[in-house]
Amino acid sequence: MVEIFVINPKHRKRKIDCCACDMSYSIKDYAILFENEKLIYFKYKGPKEKSHKIYCHNCLLASIQKDYPFDEIPLTIIDDNYEYFCRYYTVESDNEDDSDFLSGLDDIFKK
């Protein structure tokens, strides 16, 4: 089970960067993108990492796929005190379009 932590813009004051692609947003811009269900930053700790790092959802999925080379990866998405369980299917061709991943996360945006 891979645990990933949602970074909710409500709980953050500083700007936010992805550690993998350097995509960076002010917290104001991130809040807008988050509300429009376009972007989520997550905290994730890979099996070889010592601490959590911040990833945008695109880099997060790429990084998880590298760390766990399976067709199907069980994910626990932790958002405050809520936990969501889902499976990420790496073999589906439509994963190239990450909107599917985000649209599966409705509950997080709707809170």
- Binding residues for Zn ion, rule: CB under 5 A, are 18, 20-21, 23, 56, 59
CB of 54 to Zn ion, least distance (A): 9
Cα 73 from Cα 3, distance rounded (Å):
11
DSSP string for 51-71 = S-EEEEHHHHHHHHHHHS--S
CB of 81 to Zn ion, least distance (A): 26
Q: Which is nearer to Zn ion, 20 or 27 (CB)?
A: 20
What are the two backbone dihedrals, phi and then psi, of residue 34, each rounded to the nearest 5 degrees? -65, -45
Q: Which is nearer to Zn ion, 17 or 37 (CB)?
A: 17
Q: Which is nearer to Zn ion, 2 or 53 (CB)?
A: 53
